[in-house]
Amino acid sequence: MTTGDRYRELLDEHLKGEVLERMVRYAELLELWSAKHSLVRFAEPRELVERHLLDALAGARLLDGRGVLLDVGSGAGLPGVPLLIAKPRWRGVLLEPRQKRWAFLKLVIRELGLDAEAVDQRYENLPEDVCFDLITARAVGGRKELLAWARSHLAAGGAVALWTTVDGEQEVGVQGDWRVLSWPLVGLDRGRLVSLRKRST
């Protein structure tokens, strides 16, 4: 069984058609680059699929219709790349200031034909007038600062999605001017996907 066949077998019950094939190719690229550059830690294909790819895809429920996604501290492309694969009507900006990871994201975008760009800077340095329909962050610190920045960079009806823990959910939940919804992350006892939307004024 080839590496691609193994990933296809693990993902087949979750994805179909072109989306499945793109995700398989992404998994292959992650495995290849992680062996050389330590992009993502995993012991074997099942762990990569369950702990990282399916974890990222939990956010797909937040991507209706079409829109523009900003993935902050994208790293190896998680969660941004799996979400853009699953929701091809969305465009994406993958922010990653570290050069090796930025180079990987550029390769992934090209190989998978994603409607996205990789930008090698931090969110604080983006133009003041840019807005996004969904801002995502996984394994990124400084949530309070990110939410403060996001207030003026969300399109009408937009949301921030954080992959965090029970404790992280409680931390962001005290930010009083946000409406907070959360869901458990499959396979992580204390993992949470938290969605925050600005309250109407």
For 55-95, what is each residue's pLDDT tens digit? 999 999 999 999 999 999 999 999 999 999 999 999 999 99
Q: What is the pLDDT of residue 22?
A: 98
Q: What is the pLDDT of residue 157?
A: 93
Give residue for tokens 């965090």.
164
With 70 as the cut, is the pLDDT of residue 201 above it?
no
Domains of the chain, earliest start first = 58-198 (3.40.50.150)
- Statement: the pTM of the whole predicted model exceeds 0.85: yes
With 90 as the cut, is the pLDDT of residue 176 above it?
no
Q: What are the pLDDT digits (tens) for 27-45? A: 999 999 998 888 999 999 9
Q: What is the pLDDT of residue 99?
A: 95
Q: What are the pLDDT digits (tens) for 100-150? A: 999 999 999 999 999 999 999 999 999 999 999 999 999 788 888 999 999
**For range 173-179, the mean pLDDT:** 74
CB 98 within 8 A of CB 122: no
With 80 as the cut, is the pLDDT of residue 173 above it?
no
List alpha helices for the chain, DSSP H: 3-11, 17-37, 45-47, 54-57, 80-86, 99-112, 143-150, 166-173
Angle between helices 166-173 and 143-150 (to 10 degrees): 40
Token pair for 35 = 């062996």
The whole-angstrom separation of Cα 133 and Cα 63 is 9
